[in-house]
Structure 1
Amino acid sequence: MLASLLLIGAVSTTPQMSVQAAAQSVVEDGGMTQAVNRMVGGIASYVRWPSGTPATNRHMCVVGTPRLAPRMAPDTPGRGSISVRYIAASAVNADCDILFLGRMPATDRRQLIAWVRGRPVLTITDDDAACLYGAMFCLSSRAASLSFSVNLDAIARGPLKIDPRVLRIGAGDGGAG
């Protein structure tokens, strides 16, 4: 099941404000890189890794060439930090808590998605707006807005817990809970 979300409406919690701010910054100042970084940080704020995995510092591995943000530096206000490493598909390992998939050969993408299944790794891409190729979250840009889709099947295949409020952001109810 695939849920598409367009970021609109008011929000009330820190992760939601990060994701909402991402959409606003594209509209207000044209800062797509800043918006993507806020959105990635906001999405990561909704994720609960299995117990035993430290929550204060996450490691994001960027594979391929991001389309929307040439410089990845996720913004996680008050929620720890995310360090970023740019690596080749063949270098992905268990040190990656978040796997950001940019433009890359289809064979590399398939291998990485297969490797992630069952592991506590959050997958985000900006090179699959329809969210068909196995990433959990798929960023897309249309006109002056940044949005994302959620691949519920991909989420269900792994041990990560995603706060259900992330599914309500685009519904305009703010996800208050």
Structure 2
Amino acid sequence: MLASLFLIGALVTTPQMSVQAASQSAVEESAGGMTRAVNRMIGGIASYARWPEGSPAANRQMCVVGTPRLAPRMAPDTPGRGSISVRPMTAAGVTSDCDILFLGRMPVGDRRQLIAWVRGRPVLTITDDDAACIYGAMFCLSSRSASLSFSVNLDAIGRGPLRVDPRVLRIGSGQGGT
């Protein structure tokens, strides 16, 4: 993909357009790195969550609602820890098959409805559209100057039957709370 962008830039005769093609490829390369980082982080967070007994651990279902801001292609990386399949859906279409609920950009009403639905259920909630982690998700991803971090909403974690290993809780900034 990057090679084809450079090739397109080489075929264009004006220097201004060549510079635009080169900067577009740099942005795409940077976005690809962020996508990989987001997918690794989601996989890592999920690997530290413990679902209640009787919940199959090998394969998890992540439902993506809304438009993710940081990673256009969701494919959580869980090396050696089972797999996470990804299914995009609407707020109205979320079902109990979702082990992980990823909340992207969406109307506030839909977000509130989904957070209310999750309470008391064994569903891990992650968002990239609430850096302050105040709207009810358990983990909130944020990006600053090409680095990825997350906040932990201890209140949201405490409301459900999932258990999260304290080691991941110490890594997150823990600033959230609802």
Give the TM-score band, short-chain normalised.
Answer: 0.7 to 0.9
Higher RCO (C-alpha under 8 Å, 6+ residues apart)? 1
Tell me which residue corresponds to 1:131.
133
- Please give the secondary structure, in 2, of the residue aligned with 1:71: coil
Which whole-Å CA distance do the structure 1 matches of 2:169 and 2:100 have between them? 19
- The one-letter code sitting in structure 2 at the alignment partner of 1:92 is V
Which whole-Å CA distance do the structure 2 matches of 1:60 and 1:167 have between them? 21
Structure 2 unmatched ranges of 5 or more: 1-28, 174-178
Tell me which residue corresponds to 1:18.
none
TM-score of the two chains, using structure 2 as the length reference: 0.78
- Please give the secondary structure, in 1, of the residue aligned with 2:96: coil
Distance 1:170 1:127, change over 3 A: closer
- The one-letter code sitting in structure 2 at the alignment partner of 1:121 is V
Asked if structure 1 preserves the Cα contact closer than 8 Å seen for 2:61 and 2:97, the reply is yes
Higher helix share: 2
Count of residues in correspondence between the two structures: 143
- Residue 92 of structure 2 is aligned to residue 87 of structure 1: no
Tell me which residue corresponds to 2:160.
158
- Residue 171 of structure 2 is aligned to residue 169 of structure 1: yes
- Residue 54 of structure 2 is aligned to residue 55 of structure 1: no
Which whole-Å CA distance do the structure 2 matches of 1:52 and 1:118 have between them? 16
1:69 alignment partner, one of 64, 71, 85: 71
- Please give the secondary structure, in 2, of the residue aligned with 1:155: helix
Tell me which residue corresponds to 1:9.
none
Following superposition, the deviation at residue 170 of structure 1 comes to: 5.6
Identity of aligned residues (%): 83
Tell me which residue corresponds to 2:116.
114
Which whole-Å CA distance do the structure 2 matches of 1:141 and 1:169 have between them? 15
Following superposition, the deviation at residue 167 of structure 1 comes to: 2.1
Following superposition, the deviation at residue 69 of structure 1 comes to: 0.2
Following superposition, the deviation at residue 56 of structure 1 comes to: 0.1
Structure 1 unmatched ranges of 5 or more: 1-28, 172-177
Tell me which residue corresponds to 1:11.
none
- Please give the secondary structure, in 2, of the residue aligned with 1:168: helix
Which whole-Å CA distance do the structure 1 matches of 2:171 and 2:132 have between them? 18
Tell me which residue corresponds to 1:23.
none
Which of the pair has more CA radius of gyration?
A: 2
Asked if structure 1 preserves the Cα contact closer than 8 Å seen for 2:102 and 2:127, the reply is yes
Tell me which residue corresponds to 2:144.
142
RMSD of Structure 2 on Structure 1 (CA): 1.1
